[in-house]
Amino acid sequence: MTPPPFGSKVAQEAAKLLASGKDPNQIANILFQRDKAGRNYGIGIILDGHGRPAKTSKTLQRAATRELKNSGSGSYMNSAKTMAALKDATLAWQGIPKKYADRFHLAVPSDAGTGAVQTALQSALMLNPKINSLGFETMSWPAYKTLAKVLGVGIREFPLGAAAKGNSTLPVYQAGPHNSTGRTPQKDEVQARAKAARGWVVLDRAYSGFEYASQLKSSSYASVMRRSYETQIKPFIDAGVPFFLAISPTKAFVTFSLRPCGLLLAFCPDKKTNTAVPGAFNAAIRARGSAFEHPVTRAFVNAMIHDSKGLQKDHERSLARLAAAECSWKKLAAGTPLESAFTDQFAGMFRNIRMREGAQAALYGKHLYPVFTPGRCRLNVSGLPVNAKAAAVDAKAFSEFCLD
C-alpha cells in the first residue's frame, strides 16, 4: 500500500492531538516544531520575517541581569513598595490621563497576559457572585472557554462586533484587534458595548496599539497609543463603567522567553467599587501565589518605572515589524480571495480565513503551519517572509484554498 503523502500524515497527527485534549493553538506549535522545513504561521509570537522569533527585549534583559545580581538574599522579595510608581507608568504607557489615577487600582499577576485575564475573572466573580457565564465574541481566544471551565461558569458567545447581553454574564472584550480574526472594533461599537454594560467588564488588552501599527509611517508612536486608548478604553471611562484592563507585556515588548508579570488595572468609577477592589485583588493574588515574585517580574517592574522609554522603543519595533508584514500581505492579497482579510477593517497579528475542504493536508504538505479549526485557519501575519519570492509562494498557497 502506498503511504499517505506528507501533508495527510500531518493532518492525521493533528487529529490525534485534538482527540488527546490539545487545543488548536497547541497543535499548530507541536506540529511545526516536528518539521525541520516548517514555516510558522500559527504560534502567537512576533516573527522577524526570516522564520525566527523577533529578538527578546534588550531593555528587559538588562533589567533582569541587574535583578539577578540583587537577588542574593534568601528572603522573599517583591515590588510592593513601588506599586504607586508602577501604576503611574502603566497609565502613562496606555495613554490614560493622570486625572483618572485615583480611580484605578493595579495588580501584577504572574504569567503575563494570561495571568492578568485570569485574575480579572477571579476578581470579578468575587465582586459579583451572581455572574454565571463569560460572554465573548465568536472565534475568540480558545483559552476563554478553558478559563470558564476552570472557574465553574458557562459561556455565551456573540457575533463579532456585538455587545454581550445579560445581567449574569461577564463581558470579555478585546481592547484592540480581535484574537483571532484581526477584526478591529470601531469606536461606535465600543461605545455601544459601554452603554450596554450592566456591571463589571473585562477588557483583554493583549495587543496594545496593534490595530494602528500601519499608521507609524505617518504618525508617532505616542499618537498611535493615544488613538488606541481613545477608541478602545476611553468610551468605558466616559460611560462610568467599572472595568478590568488586563494588559499583556509579551506581545508589546517581545518578552515571551522571559515571561514577566501581567499588568491588571481596575477602573472604579464610584466609592463602592473603589473600596471593594483592593480586597478582591489581594485575595486573587495571594491565591495565585503571585505575591511571591519571580526575579523577571521585579525586573520588569523596575524597567517600567525607570526605563519606560526603552520598553516603548521595543514596542515601537514590534509595531513596525507588524506594519511591514501587513503592507506586504495587502500587496500580495490584492485581487485574490485573501484581499478582504487585509482591508482597513482588520489589523494586528492574526487573520482567520475560511478555507476549502482539503486545505489542512495541502498546506501541511507545503510545510505551512497556521492554526486550523473546522473550515478555517488562523494565520500569523508576521510569519510572512521578507524575501519577496518566498512570500509570494506562501501567499499564493493560502489564497488557493481561501473562500473569503
- Compute the distance between CA of residue 213 and CA of residue 220 in angstroms, rounded to an integer: 10
Q: Are residues 212 and 253 located together in one domain of the fold?
A: yes
Grid cell, residue 89, equals 507608568
Q: Please give the pLDDT value at position 1.
A: 43
Tell me the whole-structure pTM to 2 decimals. Answer: 0.94
- Rounded to 10 degrees, the C-alpha dihedral 203/207/209/211 comes to -100
Q: Are residues 140 and 211 located together in one domain of the fold?
A: yes
List, for residues 160-207, the tens digit of each pLDDT value. 999 999 999 999 999 999 988 999 999 999 999 999 999 999 999 999
Does 50 reside within a domain?
yes
3-state secondary structure of 372: strand
List, for residues 356-401, the tens digit of each pLDDT value. 999 999 999 999 999 999 999 999 999 999 999 999 999 999 999 9
Spatial neighbors of 343 by CB under 8 A, at least 6 apart, are none
CATH number, position 113: 3.40.640.10
- Compute the distance between CA of residue 68 and CA of residue 289 in angstroms, rounded to an integer: 20
Does 1 reside within a domain?
no
Does 373 reside within a domain?
yes
List, for residues 49-82, the tens digit of each pLDDT value. 998 899 999 999 999 999 999 888 778 888 889 9
Average pLDDT value for the chain: 94
List, for residues 224-260, the tens digit of each pLDDT value. 999 999 999 999 999 999 999 999 999 999 999 999 9
Q: Please give the pLDDT value at position 44.
A: 83
Does 82 reside within a domain?
yes
| 232-251 per-residue burial string, b: 16 or more CB within 10 A, e: under 16 | bbbbbbebebbbbbbbbbbb
How many domains does one find in the chain? 2
Q: Are residues 84 and 96 located together in one domain of the fold?
A: yes
Residue 2 pLDDT > 60? no
Identify the domain boundary among 296, 312, 328.
Answer: 312
- Compute the distance between CA of residue 136 and CA of residue 15 in angstroms, rounded to an integer: 26
Grid cell, residue 148, equals 470558564
- Sort 383 into a burial class: Cβ within 10 Å, 0-12 / 13-18 / 19+: buried
The domain in which residue 50 lies consists of 6-55+318-400
Identify the domain boundary among 312, 328, 361.
Answer: 312
Identify the domain boundary among 312, 331, 347.
Answer: 312
List, for residues 311-344, the tens digit of each pLDDT value. 999 999 999 999 999 999 999 999 999 999 999 9
Q: Please give the pLDDT value at position 49.
A: 94
Q: Are residues 94 and 13 located together in one domain of the fold?
A: no
CA atoms within 13 A on the CB side of 222: 3
